[in-house]
Amino acid sequence: MKLTIKNWTGVATWKWVANDDNCGICRMAFDGCCPDCKLPGDDCPLVWGQCSHCFHMHCIVKWLQSQPVNQQCPMCRQEWKFNNK
Amino acid sequence: MASASTKDSKIAVNYWDPLRDTDSEVLSATASTRIRRDLMTIFKDPPPGLFVVGDESDIRYVHAIIVGVMDTPYEGGFFYFILKCPSDYPIVPPKVKFMTTDAGRVRFNPNLYKNGKVCLSILGTWTGPAWSPAQQISTVLLSIQSLMNEKPYFNEPGYEKERWPGDVERYNEILRHETLRVAVCGMLENECHLIIPEQLKEIMETTFLQFYDLYMETSKNKIDLDGKSYTDPFGAGAVVTFEYAKILERLETIRGNLAKKHAIPVDLPLTDGEGSDEKDDNDE
Ligand SMILES: [Zn+2]
Ligand SMILES: [Zn+2]
Ligand SMILES: [Zn+2]
């Protein structure tokens, strides 16, 4: 089936399903990459926690590595678990 | 002398001090971008009473003035802080030093030691919720501002109630006097020879002129305290003797000098027409 959209009234533009437009750690927009990367996209993926907060993978991994015990989400301080759905 | 802060015996004594920090590592790209973003956030939408400038020669340093909030004993005072962001900021919190201490003589708050240590859980210098990389420079400064509240006596653990009736008010009297003596007159005269960035000096000068009548009124209202001495409950025996007459003189001198510098007629009231312009003047 092929559809041609002729008219579309958006109530919201599509974005990553994230809680905010920016990564809570580096504060860069999710449609770009983290400041330590050069190109957005697969090289700098986004990851979600079970608490539903989203970060650049590079950013959250740096944070988790700095927390040997008690790894918490930077946003909500719940225990951090990757959401692997 | 500095008997406080030895509790953290397993960590280096000055681990919190940005001016004794020897970290010379290059900032990560994330750290330098984040510091700029943090500053932009404050420039774009400045929280009341909070002024920051980045260091011109080293992006890791941030200079901040917190103006004491109205109806607190700190009202109208200029409290200067230096922050240093580590190379892996924001994974690790900044280090903060409080500079308005009359050269290490005044403890302005149970959480602001006279050696400049700022006791705040997000800085890792106090118990309670630790730093999270979702926090930023404005979070740190706003948390410090909230320590400088109407009744800072109660900040000290174990002082949830007054030890002696009237303690809270006596402590506030001490802070009010020291605010005018050290954080207003002392800062404007720069008697401690702090190296304060020009932009912050200008902010202090214009704010001083706006608040001048308030400073004078407070000092006149409190002049009956002159000659009395109160012991600072958190000052390790430090005694404050009230000298509002001297403060009044200093305020007048400072105003006279600023009026010359800014070419303001000295005999005109300065607080007239405050906030009269309806339009946004954000052209600075
Ligand atoms: Zn990020
Ligand atoms: Zn990345
Ligand atoms: Zn979360």
Spans of all domains in chain A: 28-85
Do B76 and B146 touch, CB atoms closer than 8 A?
no
Ligand 2 centre from B98 Cα, in Å?
Answer: 35
Q: Which ligand minimizes its atom distance to the CA of A37?
A: 2
> Nearest chain B Cα to A36, which residue?
B29
Q: What is the pTM of this model?
A: 0.86
What CATH class is the domain A28-85?
alpha beta
Ligand 3 centre from B28 Cα, in Å?
Answer: 24
Q: Cβ contacts (< 8 Å) between B133 and chain A: which residues?
A: 24-25, 59, 63, 74
Amino acid present at B50? L
From the first residue on, what is the mean pLDDT of each consecutive set of 10 residues in chain A (85 residues)? Answer: 50 45 92 83 85 95 94 95 84
Q: Which ligand minimizes its atom distance to the CA of A55?
A: 1
- Between chains, do A24 and B34 touch, taking CB under 8 Å as contact? no
- Between chains, do B30 and A36 touch, taking CB under 8 Å as contact? yes
User: Which parts of chain B register pLDDT below 50?
Assistant: 1-9, 272-284
- For chain B, list residues whose CB is within 8 angstroms of any CB belonging to chain A: 28-30, 32-34, 37-38, 88, 90-92, 129, 132-134, 136
CA distance A37 to A33: 6
Instruction: Give per-residue pLDDT as tens, B224-236.
Output: 999 999 999 998 8
pLDDT computed for residue A4 by the predictor: 52
The set of catalytic residues of B is 119
- Between chains, do A27 and B136 touch, taking CB under 8 Å as contact? yes
> 3-state class of B111 per DSSP?
coil
Do A24 and A16 touch, CB atoms closer than 8 A?
no
Q: Quote ipTM for the complex.
A: 0.79
CA distance B278 to B284: 16
Q: What domains are there in chain B, each with its CATH number? A: 10-263 (3.10.110.10)
> Exposed e or buried b for every residue in A12-24, given b needs 16+ CB within 10 A?
eeeeeebeeebbb
Which of B33, B132, B136 is facing A35, going by the closest CB pair?
B33
The residues facing B229 across adjacent strands are B241
- Between chains, do B129 and A77 touch, taking CB under 8 Å as contact? yes
User: Within chain A, what is the greatest distance between any pair of CA atoms?
Assistant: 54
**Average confidence score pLDDT of chain A:** 80
